[in-house]
A = this chain, B = another copy of it.
Amino acid sequence: MPVDLRPSQALKLLHDFNYELVRDDDRDLSVRQITILLTVYLEPPPHTVRGLAAKLNVTKPVITRALDTMGRMEILQRRRDPADRRNVVVQRTVKGALYVERLGDLMVAKAKELPL
């Protein structure tokens, strides 16, 4: 059962959701960072730097830097692949799972408030 959403509702949902992010956080994650984060949390592992870069159509340093930033925030984690030590596997963290959960709950709440 697909979720039925009219364009005006979609735009209001997008606005209300982003509005909360902007209002609450001093510093926001970028759209790229959010997409990387959600990819890791929603799609089946393993996630490598190269794989994420190819999937998102960005260069590898973009992924490396995003991992630096979100690693510092402790919402993502690097791990060397023991099987092939050239690879870096990107993993979830407890803090990151809570962060993502908060995003989902916020979106659900804003969807509930949408007019007819």
Contacts and interface: CB of A to CB of B under 8 A. Distances in A.
Contact of A10 (B4, B57, B58, B108): B108
Given A3-B114, A11-B100, A14-B38, 13 more contacts: A2-B111, A2-B112, A2-B113, A4-B112, A5-B111, A5-B112, A7-B101, A7-B105, A7-B108, A8-B104, A18-B38, A22-B35, A31-B31
A42 B16 CA distance: 10
Contact of A112 (B3, B13, B31, B39): B3
Interface of A: 1-15, 17-19, 21-23, 28-32, 34-35, 38-39, 41-42, 56-58, 100-101, 103-105, 107-108, 111-114, 116
